[in-house]
Structure 1
Amino acid sequence: MTRTGWILFALMSVIWGLPYLMIKVAVGGVSVPVLLLSRTAVGAVILLPMALRRVQWTVLRRHWLPLLAFALLEVVGPWALLSDAERTLSSSLTGLLIAAVPIVGAVALAVMGERSGAKQWLGLVIGFGGVALLAAPNLRGGDAWSIVEVMLTAVGYAIAPIIAARKLQEVPTIVTIVVTLVFCSLVYLPFAIATWPQRVPATDVLFALGGLAIICTALAFMLFFQLIREAGPSRAVVITYVNPVIAVAAGVLVLNEPLTITTVIAFVLILGGSILATSKVSSTAEEKAISATKVD
């Protein structure tokens, strides 16, 4: 990978590790719908000029259904669930649970028929063991539903890219993102109006809202596209394994959230399980899988 690629990789690892901290701060001063509207609307306005240069209306009309599914599973549902969950959960715990996205994605692909070897299944078991270790102490009262919200978010984050890869190849990525953000803004708008704050939020809340919209949405997507061009899609998504470290560090250093031995062990299990579960099936495993499907 080039020097530029490494710089972009480092920036993206930090930028997409910070939303959990900013969401935690923002939900302390505004409602979840207001947070979501500010993030999607501002992000859409900033990215819109780039999208308009590449939009093809006939292509959009032909792919409106998978675009709708992508928007619902990538933003509408997950961002609402994640933001609501952080009213109860710490930002570091939320970031670690989201690290299970590659594992959930591996399960989804397996259900769809993609071949998996022993190493991949071992990764799934180890990864889910880490999730269970992390979530179990929090399965009480309001925390239980918040854990469920984060895991549902992980499901959406895992399935949406599969839809994009299989059904939206003709639609430029920037167009997909902007269409998604505009649609989500319209969905969140009436709920945001109904819960609009009666007074100007505190300065830290305003900074968090601005950071989510400008840095973690608009700037992040622009940098991510450039990272894909520099390093390729397979290397670009490796930031998924680094983001949780940033999320935990930010929560501990800025919000004084606790860092326990259990958290560290769970993170190692989730990270290790993710790497195994998403690794390529060996040629031997592939041959065995193919042989098993043959009818003599």
Structure 2
Amino acid sequence: MKKSDFAILVLLGALWGASFLFMRMGASQFGSMALAGMRAIGAAICSIPLLASRERLAELRANWWPVTLIGLSNSALPFVLFSYAAQSLPAGLSAIFDAIAPLLVAASGWLWLGEKLNASRACGLVIGLAGVVWLIGGSMGFGHGGAPVGWAMAACVGANVCYTFGTHYSHRRMQTVTPLTVAIGSQFAAAIMLLPFTLWFWPAKAPDAQAWIAMLGLAAGCTSLAYVLFYRLLAHVGSARAMAVLYLIPVFGVIWGATFLREPVTLAMAGGCVVILLGIALTTGMLRLRGVTRAWGTVEKA
């Protein structure tokens, strides 16, 4: 990997990790629905220059329905769910929960789509899910003042379930469509879907300057710019290496939360993060258990 590509990888991890910081800063004043809507609308506006292509517009018109479904599952619903969670969960903890998407993708592919799962990936699933249980076990439960922490964690898991559906759907239905077209079109679809809810749930008290800055950073940096960087990285290094960004998101999420919001890094958070990242490394094939794989292969042949 070139130094420039590595720099983009780190920047992308920092941007997506910062999204949890910005949601934490803005959700209490905007509310989950209005913040999610403004994020999608702002990202769509920033992406308008990228639509100045007849080929891209033609692709969008020809694939408007699947692009809309991806906009719902990969943007609109996760934006709302993570914004809801940000009202009660620390930014770092939300970022750690965001890392479970690859585990859900692998598990659902194995259970319902008949995808093969070797011993190493199976171990990764078990380890990763154990990390999630670790985090939840160290939480406050489902009924502690304000927005219940337990339901906020459930919202994070729900957002990742949406990502899982979007990943499988994109892989099966959108392989002939330019990835950047899907990214831009899905943001416009999310913005249109969330617009009426944004207006309906607009806060009675105007958000302060800090909340507006957080929203702008969320829309322009963590969504619009991040998507452009991600698809540039995909084109240069391929999907396998680009997916390494998943390891950086929770790390940066914890760093930004601790640095700017003075969030404590608890033993449950640190331990859960390490266990989940280990599970992801095994599940995605970036780390393999050679001995276990050989033993598994022997059992299969028998």
TM-score by length of 1: 0.91
The 1-side partners of 2:88 and 2:38 are apart by 21
Preserved CA contact (<8 Å) 2:41 2:195: no
Structure 1 counterpart of 2:92: 92
- The whole-number CA distance in structure 1 between the counterparts of 2:34 and 2:301 is 54
Moved segments of 4+, more than 6 Å: 280-292
**Aligned residue in 2 for 1:63:** 63
Residue deviations 1:36-86, cap 9 Å, x none?
2221112112212213413253x4455344323212211121111111111
Aligned equivalents of 1:60, 1:213: Cα separation in 2: 21
Instruction: Supply the AA of the counterpart residue of 2:85.
Output: A
- What do the CA deviations read for 1:203-223 (whole angstroms, capped 9, x no partner)? 210110010011011111111
Shift of 1:34: 1.9
Match of 1:41 in 2: 41
Q: Map 1:1-296; keep pairs closer than 5 Å.
A: 1-53=1-53, 54-57=55-58, 59-60=59-60, 62-111=62-111, 112-138=113-139, 139-141=141-143, 142-279=148-285
Asked if the contact 2:92–2:257 (Cα under 8 Å) also holds between the matched residues in 1, the reply is yes
Structure 2: distance between partners of 1:184 and 1:289: 47
Counterpart residue type for residue 203 of structure 1: A
Q: Aligned partners of 1:277 and 1:119: how far apart in 2?
A: 7
| Corresponding residue pairs, total | 291
Q: What SS is found at the alignment partner of 1:177?
A: helix
Q: Please list every run of 5 or more consecutive structure 1 residues that lacks an aligned counterpart in the other structure.
A: none
CA contact (8 A) 2:68 2:190 kept: no
Residue 133 of structure 2 aligns with an amino acid whose one-letter code is: A
Pick closer, same or farther for the CA change 1:52–1:291 going to 2, 3 Å: farther
Q: CA deviation at 1:114?
A: 1.2
TM-superposed deviation, 1:252: 1.3
Tell me, in whole angstroms, the C-alpha distance in 2 between the residues paired with 1:214 and 1:166.
Answer: 29
Cα offset, 1:182, TM superposition: 1.6
Q: What does the per-residue CA deviation read over 1:170-200, in whole Å, with 9 as the maximum and x for residues that have no partner?
A: 2222221222112211221122112223454
Distance in 2 of aligned mates of 1:92 and 1:198: 29
Gaps of 5+ in 2: none
How far, CA to CA, are the matches of 1:156 and 1:43 in structure 2?
Answer: 19
- Tell me, in whole angstroms, the C-alpha distance in 1 between the residues paired with 2:20 and 2:106: 24
Q: Counterparts of 2:202 and 2:68 in 1: how far apart (Å)?
A: 27
Output the aligned Cα RMSD. 2.3
CA-CA distance at 1:159 after TM superposition: 2.7
CA distance in 2, matches of 1:35, 1:289: 52
- Whole-angstrom CA distance in 2 between matches of 1:45 and 1:289: 55
Query: Which amino acid in the other structure matches residue 36 of structure 1?
Result: A
Is the 8 Å Cα contact of residues 33 and 83 (structure 2) preserved in structure 1?
A: no
Please state how far the C-alpha of 1:241 moved relative to its aligned partner.
Answer: 0.9
Residue pair 1:86, 1:94 contacting (<8 A) in 2 also: yes
Q: What is the distance in 2 between the residues matched to 1:289 and 1:36?
A: 49
